Structure 1
Amino acid sequence: IWYCHTEDFETFTPAQKLFDPGYQVIDASIHYYDGFYYMAFKDERGHNAPGTHYAAIRTARSCDITGPYEDISPLL
């Protein structure tokens, strides 16, 4: 998962890596709660079919919005 920053939607900082668990992930969403930033993301490994491993949602958390994100959850 990568990110950049803008204040005017005309100029942007260079893209920076936010989160890399070592396998393909997409569609991250971050929410702040009780002192932590929680990221929900989709683990893209495996097949997107019921009863198969992966291709499901996981979460990770960080004390800082820019990471590092740790404590990756099991499949949800």
Structure 2
Amino acid sequence: MTGIALDDALWKDVEPGTEALVDQWLVKEGERVTAGQPVVRVVLVKATLEVPAPAAGVIEKIHVPAEQTFARGASLATLRTG
């Protein structure tokens, strides 16, 4: 299993303590995804970004629902690979 998170490089110019917002999940729990497929749309400062699946697999659990904020390093979902 692997986590789905916002890439650390996207946080590099963001002030410490700033949170991002899950705008919309593009997939549901139990849904199969392919590597690179956008799975969630997040808002970080003034940019809206689509976060891709890091690998092919099944979305096991969504940890941060839509309309909730999260901090740097947070796992947004668990992806079951294989």
TM value normalised by structure 1: 0.32
Structure of greater relative contact order (alpha carbons < 8 Å, 6+ residues apart) = 2
TM value normalised by structure 2: 0.31
